[in-house]
């Protein structure tokens, strides 16, 4: 109840600030007739492509929904962890919907949309035979990671792992399967979905650590449009998606193991 009041207060506040600032970037998008969204194309099942070259995945479904509500055509640009904020800054994309976790640095560089639509923590994928139990076990070990991922640094600095960063998930999996890396540090939700997606191949693997630093996944629009109508609209939409259970439904459709975050958000609203 309290959170509902807080949420409505937040909206009131947002509406007021929007009215005051009066940046109508939704109008601009509708005038263009197209919404350009930066999505992942190498992050199954959130964002990937099918053999026809079309983007598919949970985040792509969300992008489609946003474009439909605005009544514009959807155009998607594949982005990477390293270039998505730059694309937003350049104006090449209107919106980031690309497995982006919420960090203070990103809040400075872009307008992050609250509430988050997803959350995942950090964990590792490793062979059961490695007998990893605590993060301290990674000291001096070669650990595969993704270039630009925010959790590489804590894993290296706090626990002394040697991070070998790859541009994409498949390259890292190859190294892990070949035994060149002792573990693959990744978002816990991706690891969970990998373990269930192909149980035969990953039968000898596990997610052994205690998940740390649960990070929210957020949409983001340009830093210049902090008080714009688009940010407000997205924020309301995110609340609606949590309330109606739409996100839980999408998660289920894409075979992602249920995340505690979505459940909590749904129950709270």
Partner 1 sequence: MNALRVSGRFGVGMMGLLLASVLFGEVQAADGSASLLATMWKWAPLIGQGFLLNILISVVAMTLGTVAGLGLGLGQMSPIWPLRHAAQIVTQFFRNAPWLVLLFYCILLLPYEMRLGGLVVAMPAWIKATVGLALPVMGNVSEIVRGGVQALPPAQWDSAEALAFNRRQTLWMVILPQAIKPMLPPWMNLYAVLIMATPLVSVVGVEEAMTLTRFALSAENRSELLLPMYLALLIAFFAYCYPIARWTARLERRFAVKL
Q: Which residues bind partner 1 (CB under 8 A)?
A: 41-44, 48-53, 77-80, 83, 86-87, 90-92, 167-171, 173-174, 177, 194, 197-198, 200-201
Residue that is written with structure tokens 């373990």 in the block = 195
Rank residues 123 and 194 by Cβ distance to partner 1 and give the closer one: 194
Residue that is written with structure tokens 């289920």 in the block = 252
User: Minimum CB separation from partner 1 for residue 168, in Å?
Assistant: 5
User: Minimum CB separation from partner 1 for residue 170, in Å?
Assistant: 4
Question: What is the C-alpha separation between 244 and 29, in angstroms, rounded?
Answer: 26
SS3 content of the chain, % helix, strand, coil (to 5): 45, 25, 30
Residue 55, H or E segment: strand 55-56
Q: Output the DSSP codes for 160-217.
A: --EEEEESSHHHHHHHHHHTSSSEEEEEHHHHHHHHHHTTTTTTTEE--SPPEEEEEE
User: Minimum CB separation from partner 1 for residue 254, in Å?
Assistant: 13
Task: Give which of 113, 89, 83 is closest to 236, Cα–Cα.
Answer: 113
Rank residues 147 and 269 by Cβ distance to partner 1 and give the closer one: 147
Rank residues 22 and 91 by Cβ distance to partner 1 and give the closer one: 91
> Token pair for residue 255?
């075979």
Neighbours of 197 (CB within 10 A): 14
Question: What is the C-alpha separation between 231 and 205, in angstroms, rounded?
Answer: 41
Rank residues 116 and 145 by Cβ distance to partner 1 and give the closer one: 145
> Token pair for residue 194?
């990998």
The CB-side HSE value for 227 (13 A sphere, CA atoms) comes to 10
Cβ contacts of residue 73 below 8 Å, gap of 6+?
Answer: 33, 34, 35, 67
User: Minimum CB separation from partner 1 for residue 178, in Å?
Assistant: 9
Residue that is written with structure tokens 């739409």 in the block = 246
User: Minimum CB separation from partner 1 for residue 147, in Å?
Assistant: 10
User: Minimum CB separation from partner 1 for residue 173, in Å?
Assistant: 5
User: Minimum CB separation from partner 1 for residue 111, in Å?
Assistant: 19
């Amino acid at each position: 109840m309290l959170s509902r009041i807080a949420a409505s207060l937040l909206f009131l506040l947002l509406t007021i600030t929007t009215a005051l600032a009066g940046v109508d970037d939704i109008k601009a998008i509708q005038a263009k007739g197209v919404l350009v969204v930066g999505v992942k194309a190498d992050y199954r099942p959130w964002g990937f492509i099918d053999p026809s070259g079309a983007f598919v995945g949970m985040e792509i479904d969300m992008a489609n929904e946003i474009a439909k509500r605005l009544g514009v055509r959807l155009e998607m640009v594949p982005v990477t962890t390293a270039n998505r904020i730059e694309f937003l800054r350049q104006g090449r994309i209107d919106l980031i919907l690309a497995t982006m976790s919420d960090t203070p640095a990103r809040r400075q560089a872009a307008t992050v949309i609250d509430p988050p639509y997803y959350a995942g923590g950090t964990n590792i994928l490793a062979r059961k035979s490695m007998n990893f139990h605590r993060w301290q076990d990674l000291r001096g070990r070669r650990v595969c990671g993704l270039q630009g991922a925010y959790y590489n640094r804590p894993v290296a600095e706090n626990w002394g792992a040697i991070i070998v960063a790859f541009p994409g998930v498949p390259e890292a999996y190859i190294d892990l399967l070949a035994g060149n890396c002792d573990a693959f540090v990744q978002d816990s939700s991706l690891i969970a979905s990998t373990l269930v997606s192909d149980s035969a191949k990953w039968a000898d693997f596990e997610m052994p650590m205690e998940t740390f630093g649960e990070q929210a996944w957020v949409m983001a629009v340009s830093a210049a449009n902090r008080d714009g109508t688009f940010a407000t609209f997205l924020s309301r939409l995110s609340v609606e998606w949590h309330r109606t259970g739409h996100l839980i439904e999408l998660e289920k459709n894409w075979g992602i193991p249920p995340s505690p975050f979505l459940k909590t958000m749904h129950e709270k609203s």
